[in-house]
Structures are given as structure tokens and as C-alpha cells.
Amino acid sequence: MGFRMGIVGLPNVGKSTLFNALTKTAAAQAANFPFCTIEPNVGEVAVPDPRLDTLAEIAGSKQIIPTRMTFVDIAGLVKGASKGEGLGNQFLANIRETDAIAHVLRCFEDGDVTHVEGRVDPLADAETIETELMIADLESLEKRLSNIARKINAGDKQAKEDARLMLAAKEALEAGRPARTVKIAEDDRKAWGMLQLLTAKPVLYVCNVEEENAAKGNAQSARVAEMARESGAATVVISAKIEEEISQLAADEASMFLEELGLHEAGLDRLIRAGHDLLGLQTYFTVGPKEARAWTIRKGTLAPAAAGVIHGDFERGFIRAETVAYDDYVQYRGESGAKEAGKFRVEGKTYEVQDGDVLHFLFNA
């Protein structure tokens, strides 16, 4: 299971530069795993995980297949997008199709790059986009509440439940808070998701800084980090310009370049990992002589559902899962060594898969 992250931002904040770096990186990886550019503004990139290389080396796997993330470069937003200004309608429709939002904020000064508002203020930029999304959500809720009013008056139980969640979201929005700040009971999560509220989506603020501040950020990115902490969002600091340069280098040259800048890894790797964490995702592995492969699931997923990520038949006919924790697999150099050390386990339908599990599923066809 991958997920779609929409890249949004005002014009001239580095959004397209970042997306270009992502797609160039993905193109360079194409020889190592299945890659496709679905549309000109949609691309898939491998989720970096050094554990997969280690497992492949131990098992002598011929092929390495990482899990993937889809990035969607969404048209630049302007004030009035909720009313259809600019590419507003397209912008809002594209966001609805994503699982999370990477909001690129300009945290760099550059007289050669004009800011659409004539100033560099990432907090104001964030507020502009958040406001447009909140207005769109409010209008959507008001329309839907009006449409189900007759059903509510007639005593329709489902309509009443839907209205309860809609009113909770409406109350937050009217108070100037995004829908993601509303506390939702576990039993309501599915119905809440069906509302498809734009401001209910998790947000990752991407602080685009100058090259010299790529390692530690700057005063502007520090302001964004504080705002994110207060609103329950996440942040990552990158230099889109550096990322685009790195994406065109060979692996060894890229490593040298990063080292010279005082960076331990590419910002894109941190961005992808932050996206995974944002949605509560984790990884399990299947390993053998043919291939070593990573699979993405949500935290808390039970073994049958995890098996279903590979194929629906695995979930329907699930019998049991044979598993070795990643650290044990590495320490005892594979499944056989783990068995001898008593670290090989057989788990049933109620087993909650852990991050890093090396799994083999048995099922009835």
C-alpha cells in the first residue's frame, strides 16, 4: 500500500523545483524497481530504507523492490481559489484525491524570484492556503447539511449521524480551526473520512531554505516549526535547489556533495520518511532468493490484512504468519539462524504486525 501526497504552495515557492527533483530521482531509480510517471504532474518514488539492502544481502536476493510513494504536483494556489480563482477548482479537486498535504513554504530570500504577495512570510503563506481550504470545506458542509435536512426531520438515523460529524467540523472551521483539530472517536473514523474534508488531511510543512541553511534551517523555518507544533502538523527543512542538483548526480557524487554541505542524507529522504510518519505507516518485508521486498501498512494492522496487501487471496485464505523481527534476522543471519536461536515465531489472525517484521504467509487458495 502506497499513498498519495499532494505538493501544494503559492506560486514561486519552489514547489515545482521540488517535484522535478523527486521525479528525476525516481527516474534514476527506475532500473532498480518498477517506476512510472502516471501523468505529467504525478510521479512515484522509492521509500528509502537501508534495512531492505541488508536483508537482500543476507538472503542473496536477486532483486530489491522498495515500497513507493506517489507525489502529486498540484497547481499553484492563489487567493480566491475556493471561489474558483486561478486554477482553484482543479486545485481543490486534486487535493481531495490525496492522503496528505506537503505544503511547501518559501523560507528563502531571493530578489530574482518574485513572491506573489511581494514579501517573504511563510506563516502568512500557510494561512492563505489554509484559509482557502477552510472556506471550501465550510461551503461544502453547509450545502450537504442543507441537502440532508429533510432526512433528519424524517428521523433518518444515518442522516443524523452524518450531521453530527458535519456540525463538529463546521464548528471548528467557524472558529478558525481546520477540521483535523476535531477529536474523532475511533468508531466515527470511517464516516469522518467519507466527508472528504480538505482540512482534515494531515499536513507536512516543507520549509524551502537557501543552500547554506539546508542543514539546520533558518529563522523563517524556525517560525514554521513553532506554528506546526501548535497546530499538530509536521515539518521538514530542505533546499529544493540542492535536491534538484543532487537528483542529477550519480550516487557516489551525491554522497560527496551532501557531505560537503554538512548533510547526512538527501532532504527528499527525510521528506518521504516524514510523510510515512505523518500517516502512521510502517513497513514489513518478504525476503527470499528471488527478491527482497518492502510492503507498507498502517500501524496496528493485523496479520490477515497485512497479507492482503500482497494479494486479496492471502487475506481471504489466511492460515498463519511466520515471522522473524528484523534485528533477529540480521543478528542470526537469516531465517535458519533465527530458528536455531528460538527467534522464529508463528502468529495467527490476531497478530499485530510490527515495523520491520520479516514475514511469510501461509494461506488456502
Question: Which residue has 468508531 as its cell numbers?
Answer: 187
Give domain 300-363's CATH number out of 3.10.20.30, 1.10.357.10, 3.30.70.250, 3.90.1150.10: 3.10.20.30
Q: What is the pLDDT of residues 123-150, one digit of tens each?
A: 999 998 899 889 989 999 999 999 999 9
Give domain 4-50+66-118+201-278's CATH number out of 3.30.365.10, 3.40.50.300, 3.30.420.10, 3.40.50.720: 3.40.50.300
pLDDT at 32 over 50: no
279 vs 112, which has greater pLDDT? 279
User: How much is the pTM?
Assistant: 0.81
pLDDT at 322 over 50: yes
In this prediction, residue 318 has a pLDDT band, given cuts at 50, 70 and 90, of very high
Torsional sign, CA 262, 267, 272, 274: positive
Q: Report the mean per-residue pLDDT for the chain.
A: 87
pLDDT at 259 over 90: no
Q: What is the pLDDT of residues 87-126, one digit of tens each?
A: 445 667 788 889 999 999 999 887 666 565 667 899 999 9
pLDDT at 3 over 50: yes
Which percentage of the chain shows pLDDT scores above 70? 88
CA distance 340 to 360: 17
pLDDT at 26 over 70: no
pLDDT at 212 over 50: yes
Domain ranges of the chain: 4-50+66-118+201-278, 141-199, 300-363
Q: What is the pLDDT of residues 35-82, one digit of tens each?
A: 344 454 788 888 889 999 999 999 999 999 999 888 888 865 555 544
In this prediction, residue 188 has a pLDDT band, given cuts at 50, 70 and 90, of very high
87 vs 185, which has greater pLDDT? 185
At 36 the pLDDT is: 40
24, 90, 223, 224 from 268: Cα distances, Å: 12, 26, 21, 19
353 vs 39, which has greater pLDDT? 353
- 3-state class (DSSP) for residue 165: helix
Which percentage of the chain shows pLDDT scores above 90? 53
Question: Do 101 and 204 form a contact (C-beta atoms < 8 A)?
Answer: yes
Q: Which residues contact 96 (CB under 8 A, 6 or more apart)?
A: 196, 198
Average pLDDT of 286-293? 97
